Amino acid sequence: MTSDSDALVPETRVLAVASHVVYGYVGNTMATFVMQSLGCEVAALNTVHFSNHTGYRQFKGTRATAQEITDIYQGLCQSYLTDFDVMLSGYAPSAAAVEAVGAIGLDLQKRAEKKPGSFFWVLDPVMGDQGRLYVSDDVVPAYKKTIHHADLILPNQFEAELLSGIKITSLHTLAEAITAIHKIYSVPHVIITSVQLSKLTTSPTTPPPASLTIIGSTTRSDGTPRLFRVDVPALNCFFSGTGDMFAALTVARLREAVFAAGPDLRTTKSWVSPDSVQATDLPLAKATVKVLASMHSVLEKTLEARGAELTATAQEVSVSAASGENDEEKRKRDYLRHTKATEVRLVRNVKYLRSPVIEFKAQEWRE
Rounded distance between C-alpha atoms, residue 145 and residue 98, angstroms: 10
Q: What is the identity of the amino acid at 188?
A: P
Interacting stretch for its own copies, rule CB under 8 A, among 15-23, 174-182, 204-212, 268-276? 15-23
Candidate residues 111, 235, 340, 364; the one interacting with its own copies per rule CB under 8 A: 340
Query: How would DSSP label each residue in 270-297?
Result: GGPPPTTS-GGGSHHHHHHHHHHHHHHH
Choices 137-145, 186-194, 279-287, 346-354; region in contact with its own copies by CB under 8 A: 346-354
For CA atoms 185, 186, 192, 198, the dihedral sign is positive
Q: Does 111 bind its own copies (CB under 8 A)?
A: no
> CA dihedral defined by 149, 154, 158, 163, rounded to 10 degrees?
10
Work out which of 19, 26, 31, 39 binds its own copies, going by CB under 8 A. 39
Stretch 59-88 residues interacting with its own copies (CB under 8 A):
59-62, 64, 68, 71-76, 78-81
Residue 105 is a binding residue for its own copies (CB under 8 A): no
The β-bridge relationship of strands 61-63 and 211-219 is unpaired
Residue 267 touches its own copies, criterion: CB under 8 A: no
β-pairing verdict for 41-50 and 225-233: unpaired
Q: What is the DSSP letter of 78?
A: H
Determine if 158 is a binding residue for its own copies (CB under 8 A).
Answer: no
Out of 86, 92, 354, 360, name the contact with its own copies by CB under 8 A.
Answer: 354
Residue ranges of E strands in 236-367: 363-364
- From residue 195, give the alpha-carbon distance in Å to each of 100, 157, 183, 225, 234: 30, 6, 21, 18, 11
Binding of residue 333 to its own copies (CB under 8 A): yes
Sign of CA dihedral 259, 265, 271, 272: negative
CB of 262 to its own copies, least distance (A): 23
Answer yes or no whether residue 348 interacts with its own copies by CB under 8 A: yes
Structural contact between residues 34 and 353, judged by C-beta atoms closer than 8 angstroms: yes
The whole-angstrom separation of Cα 207 and Cα 4 is 42
- The only residue of 103, 200, 310, 336 in contact with its own copies, by rule CB under 8 A: 336
Q: In this structure, what is the dihedral angle of CA atoms 307, 331, 93, 246, given to the nearest 10 degrees?
A: 20
Give 306 or 354: the residue with its C-beta nearer to its own copies: 354
Nearer to its own copies, 39 or 155 (CB): 39
Q: How far is the CB of 39 from its own copies (least distance, A)?
A: 6
Q: How far is the CB of 225 from its own copies (least distance, A)?
A: 35
- Cβ at position 219, least distance to its own copies in Å: 32
Q: Which is nearer to its own copies, 11 or 138 (CB)?
A: 11
Contacts to its own copies by CB under 8 A? 1, 3-5, 8, 11, 15, 20, 22-24, 29, 32-33, 36-37, 39-46, 49-52, 56, 58-62, 64, 68, 71-76, 78-81, 333, 336-337, 339-340, 347-348, 350-351, 354-355
